Amino acid sequence: MTPRRVAINAENGRYEVVYGAGVLSGAGRRIKSLGQNTGVFLLCSPRVARHWRRKLERALRNAGLRRTILFDDREKSKNISTVERVCRELIRAGADRRAVLVAAGGGVVGDVAGFVAATYLRGVGLVHIPTTVVAQVDSAIGGKTGVNLPEGKNLVGAFYSPRLVLADRVTLSTLPPREFRSGLYEVIKYGVIADERLFAFLENSLEALANRDAKALDFVIPRCIQAKAKVVSRDEREASLREILNFGHTFAHAFETATAYRNYLHGEAVGWGMIAASRLAARMGLLAPESAARIERLVRRLGPLPSLPDARPSRLLEIMHADKKTRGGELRLVLSRKIGSAETLGPVAPKLVVEVLGHLGRQT
């Protein structure tokens, strides 16, 4: 297929997201076209390296690859300690302010590498090569970087846009089934918040997509990229509109935090979060019960979700109050009034949230 190119306007310059089969092999040429650098440093995890290190290094050699740095891409390693270790390795490798970091991997790699790029020597070049569904449709686009604290997810970070994003469908071929499926929850999210046609496509073609059908992927992934590009070009720093991208995430982050990031892949937590947010919107009279049921059915069709945290609803509510959308101690949540749109609403009555959490394990 001819690569799809989507431009994004950012504070520190316009950049492109390029999607297509075979994009990876031309990564070095595309990075060279960004301008002169003093060295390219590949950042990825041992899991990604096992499948793609040789091809990545070969593709980046003519762009000036100097070192490959590996770090753990599990959610529990997305912390300040990992950032420090990567920065120290860059110093020892001689990376200066004209270096380019290439983040190859999923959301954790992108978040850590992005935060390193934003803070190392007060900012160096960054290129994303996302290798998971969630990274290709969401986390590699838009410049949000961050790491976790014990108190909550993504509480330390920066807005720092890449100079280029290269998404190659071929890298999805080595994803374990659970991880591939996890990314599809984020695809459902885009259908709910921004694209009714995408939601309808998923209702009709979810099985083909889950089986990695090329035509389905080539329809869905560029559509999600375009949806996110439209949002972040208008609101890069999450002042208002961009908050809709967090549909289901306030609940999801609470579930992840309550289980010390051990029970869920991120998309699985988002799956539960979307069910909770849809039930809450219906409970508040915002979303038609039939629409809430459609969202829940589509989420559950992807397969069984891991069990909910063994935590009291009041404890989950307490964690949710640490969310970045909270204002003056009052909870604000992204909710949908109809499939294809969403908005941030608040304050939301804590009693309603606790009621929804208390019944979440029961199928409607």
State the catalytic residue, choosing from 128, 144, 153, 279. 144
Which residues, in sequence order, are CB contacts of 102 under 8 Å at separation 6+? 27, 31, 40, 41, 42, 43, 56, 60, 127, 128, 129
Report how far residue 277's alpha carbon sits from residue 334's, in angstroms, rounded to the nearest whole number: 8
Question: Catalytic residue at 75?
Answer: no
Q: Which residues touch 362 (CB under 8 Å, ≥6 apart)?
A: none
Cβ-contact 41, 95 below 8 angstroms: yes
List 249, 256, 279, 332, catalytic entry: 249
Residue 259 — φ and ψ, nearest 5°?
Answer: -110, 15
The one-letter amino acid code at 84 reads: E
Catalytic residue among 169, 181, 223, 253: 253
Beta bridge partners of 7: 16
Residue 186 annotated in active site: yes
Contact between residue 37 and residue 64 where contact means Cβ atoms under 8 Å apart: yes
246 is catalytic: yes
**Is 238 an active-site residue?**
yes
CA pair distance 68, 66, nearest whole angstrom = 7
Q: Which of 228, 243, 279, 332 is catalytic?
A: 228
DSSP per-residue codes, 282-300: HHTTSS-HHHHHHHHHHHH
Catalytic residue among 75, 169, 179, 186: 186
Q: Which two tokens stand for residue 204?
A: 């009709």
CB 43 within 8 Å of CB 86: yes
228 catalytic per annotation: yes
Q: Evaluate the omega torsion of the peptide bond into residue 130 and state whether it is cis, within 30 degrees of 0.
A: no
The residue annotated as part of the active site, out of 78, 169, 223, 266, is 266
Q: What is the DSSP string of 4-53?
A: EEEEE--TT--EEEEESTTTGGGHHHHHHTT---S-EEEEE-HHHHHHHH
Any idea which residue has 């100097």 for tokens? 66
From 75, 163, 246, 332, the catalytic residue: 246
Could you give the count of Cα atoms lying within 13 Å of 159 in the half-sphere of its Cβ?
11
266 is catalytic: yes
- Among residues 122, 262, 351, 362, which one is catalytic? 122
Catalytic residue among 75, 236, 238, 296: 238
- The residues carrying an active-site annotation are 122, 144, 186, 228, 238, 242, 246, 249, 253, 266
